[in-house]
Amino acid sequence: MQPVEIKPGIYWVGIVDWNLRDFHGYAQTQHGTTYNAYLVIDDKVTLFDTVEQKYCEDFLCQIGQIIDPEKIDYIVVNHTEPDHGSSLPNVVHRVNPEKILTSKMGKEFMVGRYHPENWSIETVSDGQSVSLGKRSVTFMETRMLHWPDSMVSYIPEEKLLISQDAFGQNIASSERFDDWISWEDLKQEMAQYFANIILPYSPKVKKTLEQIQNAGLEIDTIAPDHGLILQNNIQNAIGAYLEFAAQKPREKAVIFYDTMWETTKKMAEAIGSGLSREGISVKIYSLKKWHHSDVMSEIWDAGAIIAGSPTHNNGIMPLVADMLVYMKGLRPKNKLGFSFGSYGWSGEAHKHISNWLEEMGIELADDPHGVKHVPTHEQYQELAQKGAKIAQAIKQKVQNS
* DSSP run (H or E) holding 123: strand 121-123
Residues in binding contact with ligand FEO, number by CB under 6 A = 8
Only one of the segments 79-87, 283-291, 324-332, 362-370 lies at the binding site for ligand FEO (rule: CB under 6 A); that segment is 79-87
Instruction: Return the number of the residue (148 or 156) whose C-beta is nearest ligand FEO.
Output: 148
Binding track, positions 107-146, relative to ligand FEO; x by CB under 6 A: ---------------------------------------x
Interacting residue with ligand FEO among 42, 52, 81, 178 (CB under 6 A): 81
- Widest pairwise Cα distance in the chain: 77
Q: How many angstroms separate the CA atoms of 373 and 355, rounded?
A: 22
Shortest Cβ 62–ligand FEO spacing (Å): 18
Shortest Cβ 71–ligand FEO spacing (Å): 27
Q: How many angstroms separate the CA atoms of 323 and 347, rounded?
A: 20
Interacting residue with ligand FEO among 42, 83, 294, 348 (CB under 6 A): 83
Shortest Cβ 142–ligand FEO spacing (Å): 11
Instruction: Return the number of the residue (59 or 285) whose C-beta is nearest ligand FEO.
Output: 59
229 and 177 in contact (C-beta within 8 Å)? yes
253 and 304 in contact (C-beta within 8 Å)? yes
- CA-wise closest residue to 199 among 360, 17, 401: 360
Q: Which of 52, 83, 178, 301 is catalytic?
A: 83
17 binds ligand FEO (CB under 6 A): no
Q: Is-catalytic flag, 312?
A: no
Angle, helices 377-400/263-277, rounded to nearest 10 degrees: 50
Q: How many angstroms separate the CA atoms of 220 and 218, rounded?
A: 7
Residue 206's identity, in one-letter code, is K
Subset of 214-243 contacting ligand FEO (CB under 6 A): 225-226
Q: How many angstroms separate the CA atoms of 229 and 317, rounded?
A: 41
Q: How many angstroms separate the CA atoms of 354 and 368, rounded?
A: 6
Residue 183's identity, in one-letter code, is W
Q: How many angstroms separate the CA atoms of 91 and 60, rounded?
A: 8
Instruction: Return the number of the residue (82 or 156) whose C-beta is nearest ligand FEO.
Output: 82
- Could you tell me the CA-to-CA distances from 340 to 27, 37, 308, 332 in Å, in that order? 26, 47, 5, 20
Q: Which of 81, 178, 225, 251 is catalytic?
A: 81
Shortest Cβ 81–ligand FEO spacing (Å): 4
Only one of the segments 64-72, 81-89, 124-132, 288-296 lies at the binding site for ligand FEO (rule: CB under 6 A); that segment is 81-89
79 binds ligand FEO (CB under 6 A): yes
165 binds ligand FEO (CB under 6 A): yes
Q: Which residues are at the interface with ligand FEO (CB under 6 A)? A: 79, 81, 83-84, 146, 165, 225-226
Catalytic positions: 24, 79, 81, 83, 146, 165, 193, 226
